[in-house]
Amino acid sequence: MAPQIHTYDTIIVGAGGAGMRAALEASKRSRTAVLTKLYPTRSHTGAAQGGMCAALANVEDDNWEWHTYDTVKGGDYLVDQDAAEIMCKEAIDAVLDLEKMGLPFSRTPEGKIDQRRFGGHTKEHGKAPVHRSCYAADRTGHMILQTLYQNCVKQDVEFYNEFYVLDLLLHTDADGTQHAAGVVALELATGEIHIFRGKAVILATGGFGKVFKTTSNAHTLTGDGMGIVWRRGLPLEDMEFYQFHPTGLAGLGILLTEGARGEGGILRNADGERFMERYAPTIKDLAPRDIVARSMVLEVRDGRGAGPNKDYVYLDLTHLPAEQIEEKLPDITEFARTYLGVEPTTELVPVYPTAHYAMGGVPTNIAGEVLADNDTVVKGLYAAGEVACVSVHGSNRLGTNSLLDINVFGRRAGINAAEYTEQAELQPLPGEPEQAVVSMVEGLRTSTGHERVAALRAELQTTMDQNAGVYRNDETLAQAEKDVKELQRRYRDVAVQDKGKRFNTDLLEAVELGFLLDLAEILVIGARNRTESRGAQAREDYPTRDDVNWQKHTMAYREKDGDGGYKIRLDYKPVIVTRYQPTERKY
Ligand SMILES: Cc1cc2nc3c(=O)[nH]c(=O)nc-3n(C[C@H](O)[C@H](O)[C@H](O)COP(=O)(O)OP(=O)(O)OC[C@H]3O[C@@H](n4cnc5c(N)ncnc54)[C@H](O)[C@@H]3O)c2cc1C
């Protein structure tokens, strides 16, 4: 059956914070559709806990320049500083916009938006932690997502819920310029294929934390947007930089916000020692995540881990007043009670690093436009949020800078896309635009292979946890690369049990696994190639940062290998430095 064709000006893929913030802008001046594989309020933004930072200076002295400095230093000097300046400057309005939309922030006694401390956010260029994170208890992301959704509903934004976008349509014109032409989606309820034509496409599909086993990320974070762009021959940037959040519930990975340490929580080893005093004497438990995660792993490796297997450390909240914990951290204390049976007001909570956030992704400029190489724009194609790499987070994101990123760059992408559609034309579609999706989906549905999605995914996650985690070296990364290649080979023989059309999540999980395998390979190859340690990339065999050779972004390209297959080619892009030259990163 021929697919249905829908025509809009702006197509937004994803209804998390970035997608809906973009939709609020784009729909004001262009006919906009939002396609989302999840019902909007189930997007992962809703799981965000600790806060969104902006130098409001409501609690103490602060300014956006200090925030920029912290972001650049936190990202270990791989941050594009022009982008970080924009983000930190626009942060203030981004928070106030949400307040005007009705977001119920936690308040100071005088009624201002309250702010708390967070890792790596300091005053006067690193002197002491600063109160910069605006929050709504430990449900900040939930409040952002609900507020944005309600405002989208108020503004009559058109949503296509449970539509899985599986391909991007591009048109190359006579002079070789690439343009966005639309997307191809599968409707979950019917299994039907739909084509959405648009003058502009904004990708806001979030991260890919499911390449790891121990992860804070939802089951749905499979990097579809990155995978789609990759298969269409566009590059991905800095994929080796994957963040591990220090405080996952031990053995489970469920996140306990850094806000717990912002409220005064302390990490202790099995001897009860506050070990972060040794690793980051000035800001201790509020050092950036890469440093805290490494310190925890070292404590465990050196035999000071707690528990029967000595394989975790403790988060200690017991010295904080119970009312403060209940009021400021209600959800995470409940998680500790429910999942580990621990009472955080009186007992220590077992924690260990958990895979959390992709610093890399689809390269964009500060307007949110997607890049086909270091500077060529794909006309009409935008990306924002965790799927994108602007790069404001460099090699290590500071806590609370992602909720900020999605609001600032979601808004910019929405405005710029809508403006673009006012003067652009619809692009011609290729003949049979649905063809690639149909053959992928039908190939999976009718496969008689013997491999199972769940088994392959589990093996992928295990090798990634073991070999591409907080610490890596050439040997572990070579093992991961070999394992991923073998899993890709076996994936060709994957079959799904559900052969039906309606609500075939079995089939879609197989598609998602394909994206995860592609992204894992790029991550591992990039990490192996980068022979230095910087931010989240900690190489045991190259323990220092090497600015002479490596203060540059990795750009990965998918190219034909001559044997009918594909190979990954790595190239580089200079880091944009405006004010801050790299210096030794001490905290
Ligand atoms: C547990 C947890 C706590 C966090 N806490 C904080 C915090 O306190 N502060 C902070 O700054 N950051 C935090 N983060 C990080 C932050 O929440 C995320 O990076 C951010 O919310 C990502 O937003 P997004 O809009 O880019 O993507 P998401 O919110 O993940 O949304 C992705 C959207 O894309 C859609 N989508 C994906 N694939 C497809 C497809 N193929 N077709 C159609 N639609 C698709 C999904 O349906 C979804 O709507 C946290 C993250 C986690 C996991």
- The domain spans of the chain are 247-353
Distance CA 494, CA 450 (A): 6
Q: Among the CATH numbers 3.30.160.150, 3.40.640.10, 3.40.50.150, 3.90.700.10, which is that of 247-353?
A: 3.90.700.10
- Tell me the best of 205, 245, 351 to mutate to test the pocket of ligand 1, counting ligand atoms within 8 Å of each CB and taking the most: 205
Going by alpha carbons, the residue nearest to atom 11 of ligand 1 is: 400
The alpha carbon of 444 and the centre of ligand 1 are apart by a number of angstroms equal to 27
- Tell me the best of 215, 257, 403 to mutate to test the pocket of ligand 1, counting ligand atoms within 8 Å of each CB and taking the most: 403
The alpha carbon of 45 and the centre of ligand 1 are apart by a number of angstroms equal to 4
Distance CA 66, CA 61 (A): 10
Q: Express each pLDDT in 11-38 by its tens digit.
A: 999 999 999 999 999 999 999 999 999 9
Q: What is the pLDDT of residue 130?
A: 97
The CA-atom distances, in angstroms, between 63 and each of 54, 123, 156 are: 9, 8, 36
Ligand 1 atom closest to Cα of residue 163:
43
Asked if pLDDT for residue 1 goes beyond 80, the answer is: no
Q: Helical H runs in 492-535? A: 505-529
Q: Residue 269's CB: how many other CB atoms inside 10 A?
A: 23
CA angle 407, 405, 315 (to 5 degrees): 115
Residues in the chain: 587
Query: Does any ligand 1 atom lie closer than 6 A to the CB of residue 222?
Result: no
Query: Does any ligand 1 atom lie closer than 6 A to the CB of residue 354?
Result: no
CB-CB contact of 509 with 455 (8 Å): no
With bands split at pLDDT 50, 70 and 90, how would you rate the model's confidence at 346?
Answer: very high
The CA-atom distances, in angstroms, between 477 and each of 207, 251, 568, 569 are: 21, 23, 16, 17
* Whole-structure pTM value: 0.98
Q: Express each pLDDT in 488-546 by its tens digit.
A: 999 999 999 999 999 999 999 999 999 999 999 999 999 999 999 999 999 999 999 99
Q: What tokens appear for 72 in the block?
A: 């650049």
Asked if pLDDT for residue 116 goes beyond 80, the answer is: yes
The CA-atom distances, in angstroms, between 357 and each of 56, 244, 495 are: 25, 7, 30
Q: Which amino acid is at 572?
A: Y
With bands split at pLDDT 50, 70 and 90, how would you rate the model's confidence at 89?
Answer: very high
Least confident of 228-237, 323-332, 479-488: 323-332
Q: Residue 330's CB: how many other CB atoms inside 10 A?
A: 12
Q: What is the pLDDT of residue 565?
A: 87
Query: Does any ligand 1 atom lie closer than 6 A to the CB of residue 269?
Result: no
CB-CB contact of 204 with 385 (8 Å): yes
Distance CA 4, CA 151 (A): 29
Q: Residue 506's CB: how many other CB atoms inside 10 A?
A: 17
Distance CA 240, CA 209 (A): 13
CA angle 333, 71, 215 (to 5 degrees): 40
Ligand 1 atom closest to Cα of residue 15:
49
Q: Express each pLDDT in 169-206 by its tens digit.
A: 999 999 999 999 999 999 999 999 999 999 999 999 99
Q: Express each pLDDT in 294-328 by its tens digit.
A: 999 999 999 999 999 999 999 999 999 999 999 99
Distinct helix (H) and strand (E) counts, the chain:
16, 24
Query: Does any ligand 1 atom lie closer than 6 A to the CB of residue 36?
Result: yes
Going by alpha carbons, the residue nearest to atom 2 of ligand 1 is: 48
Residue 496 CA neighbour count, 13 Å, CB half: 21
With bands split at pLDDT 50, 70 and 90, how would you rate the model's confidence at 436?
Answer: very high
Q: What is the pLDDT of residue 24?
A: 98
Query: Does any ligand 1 atom lie closer than 6 A to the CB of residue 402?
Result: yes
Burial 115-135 (b: 16+ CB within 10 A, else e): bbbbbbbbbeebeebbbbbbb
Residues 6+ apart with CB under 8 A from 568: 521, 522, 525, 556, 557, 558, 559
- Phi and psi dihedrals of 173, rounded to 5? -85, 180
Q: What is the pLDDT of residue 564?
A: 84
Instruction: Say what percent of the chain tops pLDDT 90.
Output: 99
Could you give the angle at which helices 140-154 and 81-101 cross, rounded to 10 degrees?
Answer: 70
Q: What is the pLDDT of residue 562?
A: 87
Residues 6+ apart with CB under 8 A from 298: none
Distance CA 549, CA 532 (A): 9
The alpha carbon of 35 and the centre of ligand 1 are apart by a number of angstroms equal to 15
Distance CA 299, CA 275 (A): 8
Q: Express each pLDDT in 258-268 by its tens digit.
A: 999 999 999 99
CA angle 34, 35, 37 (to 5 degrees): 140
The alpha carbon of 385 and the centre of ligand 1 are apart by a number of angstroms equal to 8
Asked if pLDDT for residue 93 goes beyond 90, the answer is: yes
- Phi and psi dihedrals of 206, rounded to 5? 80, -165
Burial 40-53 (b: 16+ CB within 10 A, else e): bbbbbbbbbbbbbb
Cis peptide upstream of residue 391 (ω within 30 degrees of 0): yes
Distance CA 358, CA 396 (A): 9
Q: Residue 320's CB: how many other CB atoms inside 10 A?
A: 18
Q: What is the pLDDT of residue 2?
A: 85
Distance CA 254, CA 217 (A): 8
What DSSP assignment string belongs to 359-413? S-BEEB-TT-EEESSSS-EEEEEEE-STTEE-SSSTTSPPTTHHHHHHHHHHHHH
Q: What tokens appear for 339 in the block?
A: 């999942």
Calculated CA dihedral for residues 283, 285, 290, 296, nearest 10 degrees:
140
With bands split at pLDDT 50, 70 and 90, how would you rate the model's confidence at 563?
Answer: confident
Query: Does any ligand 1 atom lie closer than 6 A to the CB of residue 164?
Result: yes
Q: What is the pLDDT of residue 361?
A: 98
Provide the annotated active-site residues: 289
Residues 6+ apart with CB under 8 A from 8: 30, 31, 32, 33, 158, 196, 197, 198
Compute the mean pLDDT over every residue in the chain, rounded to the nearest whole number.
Answer: 97
The alpha carbon of 33 and the centre of ligand 1 are apart by a number of angstroms equal to 19
Instruction: Say what percent of the chain tops pLDDT 70.
Output: 100
**3-state secondary structure (DSSP) of residue 169:** strand
Q: What is the pLDDT of residue 434?
A: 97
CB-CB contact of 354 with 245 (8 Å): yes
Distance CA 56, CA 95 (A): 9
- Tell me the best of 35, 43, 203 to mutate to test the pocket of ligand 1, counting ligand atoms within 8 Å of each CB and taking the most: 43
Query: Does any ligand 1 atom lie closer than 6 A to the CB of residue 362?
Result: no
Going by alpha carbons, the residue nearest to atom 33 of ligand 1 is: 14
